[in-house]
Amino acid sequence: MTISVSLNGEIYEQVNYSKECDFEKLVAENAGTIFGDKAIYIDVKRKINTASLGGTIPDGFLIDISDIENPEFYLVEVELQNHDFFGHIFPQITKFFAFYRNSKQRQKLIETMFTLFREDANLKNKIRELIGSREIYKFLKDTMDSSQNILIVIDESKAEFKEIMDTYTDTWGRMVKVQIVNHFRRNNSNILTVKPPFQSIPFEDATSLSTAMEITESSQYTEEFHLDGCEENVRDVYNKLKSEFLNVKSTLVFNPVKEYVGVRDIRNIAAIRFYKKKLLPEVFLPEGEVNRIVHHHKVRLYPKRGPMVEINDANNWEEIQKLVSRLVEKNQET
């Protein structure tokens, strides 16, 4: 369905792409707009000899460095909505899952990307700007070892995405994210719409206060789903944090959904996100109140989100105890 956009009284008509290569070009040329200035997009077909990648040839590589402590790596597939899902999109994404499981292929990709950053001055300057003095090879290896995602950029959503993500939770449900990009034009002026904004993709349902954390007995997401792939210290910290909540109030409910484990009392009070080496619970308290309690754990702030407290181990746990108590207490007040 073709739509139009009105901006300052002027009508911009949607550009409908019939060739995937033209849509790929749009994405590559507007990567800064689509993915943000803290991300590096590599147009694979223009930058890398794809024969060196074997049978797995995505349209792009994306490194999101908006959070320097938790960078994310993506294989990017650019698609058109009119492409057959099971005949075209599904088999391609399945190849990416196999690629990530092959340590030799991952290592070859790391070496290929490192060579590219070393030889391409623009890419080298960009990554230096974002990672500072960190060693580039180690940064690439650590990022890919801990973050293995797939991003589908498409001009319109497909009904099959939700069904497949709900069915294959350990692959599609965990690793695949979808971003819809539309192009509108008026004479020589252009508008791109991006849904959802790239840097909010991992948190798309994070702070819903009604539906996202509703309790569903048949949910396919579990605590083990989130703990899979985490180091043992993260499992220990999660169990300790959960016990802390339940010690304060035994009727609290822990509700796993796709992106996090929610903590619910009368209403949602926290959303716990899992990384390989840490927990990052978002707490629904004012920033100033969190900063008065937490001094030794890093507090991360994201637009339109509650403060996120980074927990790597059980050190300075008394701060976490006070924070949990205050969270439950605050919920009773409101």
* C-alpha–C-alpha distance, residues 241 and 181, integer Å: 39
Asked whether 130 and 65 are in contact (CB, 8 A), the reply is: yes
Q: Which two tokens stand for residue 128?
A: 């230096």
* pLDDT, position 114: 94
Q: How confident is the model at residue 209 (pLDDT cuts 50, 70, 90)?
A: very low
| 169-203: burial string, b at 16+ Cβ within 10 Å, e else | eebbbbbbbbbebbbbeeeeeeeeebeeebbebbb
Q: Which tens digit of pLDDT belongs to each residue from 57-87?
A: 899 999 999 888 889 999 999 999 999 999 9
Rounded mean pLDDT, 150-162:
94
* C-alpha–C-alpha distance, residues 199 and 215, integer Å: 27
Strand 72-79 to 39-43 pairing:
unpaired
* C-alpha–C-alpha distance, residues 131 and 129, integer Å: 6
Rounded mean pLDDT, 213-226:
65
pTM, entire model: 0.76
Angstrom distances, CA of residue 293 to CA of 152, 298, 313: 40, 12, 17
Rounded mean pLDDT, 230-242:
94
- Among the ranges given (5-9, 70-74, 129-133, 265-269), the one the predictor scored with the smallest mean pLDDT: 5-9
Q: How confident is the model at residue 54 (pLDDT cuts 50, 70, 90)?
A: low
Strands (E), the chain: 4-7, 10-14, 39-43, 60-64, 72-79, 149-154, 176-186, 189-195, 253-256, 261-264, 268-274, 279-283, 299-300, 308-309
Q: How confident is the model at residue 277 (pLDDT cuts 50, 70, 90)?
A: confident
pLDDT greater than 50 at residue 216: no
Q: How confident is the model at residue 167 (pLDDT cuts 50, 70, 90)?
A: confident
Rounded mean pLDDT, 122-133:
95
* C-alpha–C-alpha distance, residues 12 and 3, integer Å: 9
* pLDDT, position 172: 92
Q: DSSP of 112-166, one letter per residue?
A: HHHHHHHH-HHHHHHHHHHHTTS-HHHHHHHHHHH--EEEEEESS--THHHHHHH
Non-local CB neighbours of 137 within 8 Å, separated by 6+ positions: 110, 114
* pLDDT, position 218: 43
* C-alpha–C-alpha distance, residues 51 and 320, integer Å: 51
Q: What is the largest CA-CA distance in the chain?
A: 64
Average pLDDT of the chain to the nearest whole number: 87
289 in helix, strand or coil? helix
Asked whether 174 and 229 are in contact (CB, 8 A), the reply is: no
Rounded mean pLDDT, 312-327:
95
Rounded mean pLDDT, 107-119:
91
pLDDT greater than 50 at residue 268: yes
Map 210-248 to HEC letters.
CCCCCCCCCCCCCHHHHHCCCCHHHHHHHHHHHHHHHHH
For residue 117, the Cα-to-chain-centroid distance in whole angstroms is 23
Q: Which CATH number fits domain 223-329: 3.90.1150, 3.30.420, 1.10.287, 3.10.450?
A: 3.90.1150
Domain boundaries, the chain: 4-202, 223-329
Q: Which two tokens stand for residue 32?
A: 């800064």
pLDDT greater than 90 at residue 17: yes
pLDDT greater than 60 at residue 53: no
- Looking at the domain 4-202, which fold is it? Restriction Endonuclease (3.40.91)
Same fold, 4-202 and 223-329: no
